[in-house]
Amino acid sequence: MFDTIVVATDGSDSVRRAVDVAVDVAARFDAEVHAIYVVDSGEVESTPDEVREDLRDALDDHGESALEQVTEAAGERDSELDVTVEVREGRPAGEISGCAGDVDADLVAMGTRGRHGENRFLIGSVAERVVRTCPVPVLTVRQLTDEDPRRTTI
């Protein structure tokens, strides 16, 4: 049913559950995981020229760390999972949807909130745009609060 699953990450705590769910689905269906981190070109372009390259480098480093978390989560779940990682630069929603088309994904998994927190009432703006524009089904995964009885702590 699922051969390729794209998981979008920004490395935030709120995306961790989405990564875990995506990895779990991939393990159950023996699917390939394609993890993507997008450096937001709008964020980079809006910074002053003198710090723009430093910001881009910092975001690239953060992206590599976020993608490493996906790889580690996959390895912990199933050492046989095939994980491909990619850093892209552009508008996050467009790049995530584009990635899904590029890799012929069957599913995109992502969190409902990202690094910028609760800037939307029901769902984060990037997740909302991906849901509306992505050519494949999108699984949005919300972060559970500490009070939620379904949340497990280790």
Q: What is the 3-state secondary structure (H, E, C) of 46-85?
A: CCCHHHHHHHHHHHHHHHHHHHHHHHHHHHHHCCCCCEEE
Residue 104 region by backbone torsions, left for phi larger than 0, else alpha for psi between -120 and 50, else beta: left
d(CA 20, CA 33): 12
What is the predicted pLDDT for the residue at 60?
93
Sheet holding 138-141, edge to edge: 83-90, 32-40, 4-8, 107-111, 138-141
Residue 90 region by backbone torsions, left for phi larger than 0, else alpha for psi between -120 and 50, else beta: left
What is the predicted pLDDT for the residue at 91?
94
What is the predicted pLDDT for the residue at 149?
52
Long-range contacts of 44-47 (CB under 8 A, 24+ apart): 44/89
- What parts of the chain have a pLDDT lower than 50? 115-122, 153-154
d(CA 151, CA 145): 7
What is the predicted pLDDT for the residue at 120?
42
What is the predicted pLDDT for the residue at 14?
79
Domains identified in the chain and CATH numbers? 4-141 (3.40.50.620)
Reduced to 3 states (helix: H, G, I; strand: E, B; else coil), residue 5 is strand
Q: pTM for the full model?
A: 0.85
* Assigned token pair, 37: 């981190």
